Amino acid sequence: MPPAERRGVRPTAPAVSRNVGHPVPPVGSLQETAASPPREARKAELAAADERLGAQMKRAVAALLDKKAEKLLVLDLGGLTAMSDYFVLASATSDRQAQALAEAVEEAMKAEGRRPLSVEGFQKATWILLDYGDAVFHIFLSEARRFYGLERLWGDAPDSTAAFS
């Protein structure tokens, strides 16, 4: 016996009809949907976004090189994770140079119409992280880079540095 009946209480909600049709009408066959023009338009949008990201990355990498970043490495994470397409790792010899590198990346990306989603570690400057969503820039002091070893953690990621230098 259900607990409500044991207490002498009857449910007051009306019974729900089980013969309710699906609220979304069928759209068509899979073949009709797959061949639709919006899918081709989406492919064109994605290709244009990839081109824009490539131009933005080239500009940011050039800014890092202009400020004398050491051990510059661009890892292509596209096939490995959904969190980001690229990790850019760069080393600095001092905390002031690390801050200058971070500012140079911010200026370069701002010129491309991008603002970081998050900036971490700028004041301490041992590891500065600039997160742009599809590209994450890690600027380290040499000791911190050796300690954290992101190159080892993302060892499966292909090196794409030459594509952006």
Distance of CA 34 to the CA centre of its chain: 27
Give pLDDT tens digits along the chain (165 positions).
555 555 555 555 555 555 555 566 555 555 555 555 678 888 888 888 888 888 899 999 999 999 999 999 999 888 787 888 899 999 999 999 999 999 999 999 999 999 999 999 999 989 999 999 999 999 999 999 999 888 888 888 888 888 887
Domain residue extents for the chain: 40-164
Q: What is the pTM of this model?
A: 0.73
Biggest CA-to-CA distance, the chain: 81
Q: Looking at residue 9, what DSSP letter applies?
A: -
162 CB-contact burial (10 Å; exposed 0-12 / middle 13-18 / buried 19+)? exposed
Q: Which structure tokens are listed for 102?
A: 């971070």
Domain 40-164 has what CATH class? alpha beta
Distance of CA 119 to the CA centre of its chain: 14
